[in-house]
Amino acid sequence: MITLRVAWRNLWRNRGRTGITLAAMSLSTAVMILTYALMLGMITDMEKSVVEVFTGQVQVHNPAYASEHSLYDTISRPQAILDKARSSGIAASVRAFGFGLVSSGPNSAGVQFWGVNPQAERSFGKLDEALLEGGFLPDAPGMRVVLGRKLARTLGAKVGTELVVVVQAADGSLGNDLLHVCGILKGVGENLDRSLALIHEQDFAALFVFPGRYHEIALNSHGRMTPEEVASFIKGAAGTDEVKTWRQLMPGVSDMLNSFDGFSLIFEVVFFLIAGLGVMNTLLMSTYERIPEFGLLKAIGTTPWRILREVSAEALILGIFSSSLGGVLGACAAWYLSRNPIDLSGFAEGFSTSGVMMSAQWGAQLTIAGIVWPIVFMWLVSVVAALYPAAKAARLDPVRALTHV
């Protein structure tokens, strides 16, 4: 107890020094908390953007569809899966896929048709908001189509353009029809940008002569459950159909997010190094300046062990104050940035990379670990940086310590 009291008084004896050290430690802690939250926010945003737009956390397919992409490999019991999802409030979207050739004037392209229910798609994801021009599919069928961005460019199509479409229908006949472009999507991923044509599920059924059959059910609990939990919850209702999480379905994107983790780890290490070195130098300097003082203490009979105890007590008190101050400061800054994301749109609008649609808004994400780790790290650094010179002084001959500069 007396150690703490002496340490406390020692700290107040030189307010300038204590103030500087305290400021250095708190500010570094705050900055570490902030950068950690910013890194985490960037990664979480990316993950969210993969899942929220149209992929969902989990998808159900006929196991044969993945390898064959055949029109006939449909989901066997879509209704059972939908009922199960609805029972626990998981959002679901049902889709049918078919391949066809679309042309507009002299331009033509192979496209992937998605037959969707516009209403369900709207409440499921954000595809209806990701429009470059025009609007999303209306709720009623009417041979309208929403095109992927690059596909529209290839076809030279704009909103209102009439497209000629040729498909091989399920009964073997050649389906031939006209579609009107009602909207063009923003970049949502390379594959879809190049080939996606969204149409109403009833139009799809008519075009492909294929009513009531679906190839994909996408599910999203919107954050209430993890993808794995959703998958195991749905599995019972899926029967022979395959239930996979987005990480299993898109290993490339999953890898990309993992490597961003790797990059941010490197960044984080460098940040901690800079912050740690700053605090270490400040503390080293302040303890070194006091070596004559320690010499005096030794000269009047203080044991080396006691000097160490006092210095550690000082570091402890400094640590408590600076981590509360820095913790609050950093947490507030991170919290502010989680509510008011940094706007990077001055650099560029949102865009997509390898199927991940990124927004130009960059928010922070604050977690308990993101506060605790920087504080623990700062304590370790400060104790080591204070104890090293103190231990040196404690072993020095009092006379040498007294005249030490």
Partner 1 sequence: MGTLRMLVILAWRSLWRNKRRTLITVSSIAFGTALALFLISWADGMYRKLIDSAVRMNAGHVTVERRGYNLAPSLSLYVPSVERIRTVARDLDGVSRIKPLVTGQAMVATGSASAGVGLVGVDPAVEKEVSPIARSIKAGRYLEPGDARGVVLGLTLAKRLDVEPGMKVVVTCNDSTGELVNEMLVVTGIFGTGMEEADGFLIQVPIAAARRIFRLGPDAATQVGLVLTSPDRQGDVLERMNASLAGTGLVALPWQEVLSDLASFMSVDKGSNYVFQGIIIFLLSFTILNTILMSVLERTREFATLLAIGTAPILLRLQIVMESAMIGIIGTGLGLAIGGGISLYFEIHGLDISPLIGKNLSVTGFTVDPVLRNEVSVRLLSWLGSLVFGLTLIVGLYPAYRSARINLPDALRSR
Sites for partner 1 among residues 1-40 (CB under 8 A): 16-17, 20-21, 23-24, 27-28, 31, 34-35, 38
Spell out, one character per residue from 39 to 68, where the chain touches partner 1: x when CB under 8 A holds, - when not: ---x-------------------------x
Place of tokens 């704009």: 158
Q: Is the dihedral of CA 149, 155, 156, 162 positive or negative?
A: negative
Measured in degrees and rounded to the nearest 5, phi and psi for residue 172 equal 90, -10
Whole-number minimum distance, CB 86 to partner 1, in Å?
Answer: 34
Q: How far apart are the first and last CA of the chain?
A: 31
Q: Which of residues 189-218 bind partner 1 (CB under 8 A)?
A: 190-191, 194-195
Among 72, 87, 119, 265, binds partner 1 (CB under 8 A): 265
- Could you say which of 64, 80, 317, 344 contacts partner 1 (CB under 8 A)? 344
Residues 6+ apart with CB under 8 A from 52: 125, 126, 220, 222
CB of 28 to partner 1, least distance (A): 7
Smallest distance from partner 1 to CB 188, Å: 12
Q: Please, what is the minimum distance in Å from the beta carbon of residue 228 to partner 1?
A: 20
Beta bridge partners of 109: 102
Spatial distance between the Cα atoms of 371 and 303, rounded to a whole number of angstroms: 37
| Positive or negative torsion for Cα 110, 112, 118, 121 | negative
**Region of 4-12, 133-141, 211-219, 282-290 interacting with partner 1 (CB under 8 A):** 282-290
Q: Which of 131, 220, 190, 147 is nearest to 355 (CA)?
A: 190
As measured in angstroms, the least distance from the Cβ of 247 to partner 1 is 13
User: By CB under 8 A, is residue 299 in contact with partner 1?
Assistant: no
Closest to partner 1 by CB, 38 or 75: 38
Per-residue contact string for residues 323-342; x = within reach of partner 1 by CB under 8 A: -------------------x
User: 2-13 and 15-50 helices cross at what angle (nearest 10)?
Assistant: 100
